[in-house]
Amino acid sequence: MRAGAVLVLAVMVGLAAPTRAGNDGYKVIVNPKNPITAIDRDFLRNAFLKKVSEWSDGLTIRPIDLSAQFPARARFTREVLRKSANQLRSYWNQQIFSGKGVPPPEAGSTADLVTYVLDHPGAVGYLPSDADPGRAKVVEVQ
């Protein structure tokens, strides 16, 4: 193979390879009135699975998900909720059927998610790592 063909092939392979820069990573945000600066990963998991319903100050937790179109959702589901998309869907179907709860609302855009978090003092959500959180507070996941 000639050097030029090798270079073209290398560039094509590089373009076809999935990138992990930013879009599939996530950052967790809360309402700026929430006093926390960090959140325990297990507490966050339980908040999104609605196994806990209040922050330490008694305020109701209001989790919000990104829609499935965002790669950050798959990563958040895998790393924080420790479930696959199918396992999460099954979990919520069981919760709904048994009358125990409904899944968090889904935001169709990062702007909608930020607006929800800003409008609800107990809200918690996540954004792709490269998304602008606006006035929402980014918290560290521990």
Residue 8 within a domain: no
Q: Write phi, then psi, for 14 (nearest 5 degrees).
A: -60, -40
Residue 7 within a domain: no
Total domains present in the chain:
1
- Least Cα distance to 29 among 103, 140, 142 occurs for 140
Q: Average of pLDDT values for 63-88?
A: 97
Residue 46 within a domain: yes
Q: What is the CATH number of the domain that holds 93?
A: 3.40.190.10
Residue 32 within a domain: yes
What integer pLDDT is reported at residue 12 of this predicted model? 37
Q: Report yes or no: 75 and 128 within 8 Å, Cβ to Cβ.
A: no
- Average confidence score pLDDT of the chain: 87
Residue 5 within a domain: no
> Is the model's pLDDT at 11 over the cut of 60?
no
- pLDDT one-digit tens code per residue, 49-63: 999 999 999 999 999
- pLDDT one-digit tens code per residue, 33-45: 999 999 999 999 9
Domain that holds residue 117: 23-141
Q: Average of pLDDT values for 72-96?
A: 97
Residue 16 within a domain: no
pTM exceeds 0.75 for this model: yes
Residue 9 within a domain: no
Q: Average of pLDDT values for 76-104?
A: 97
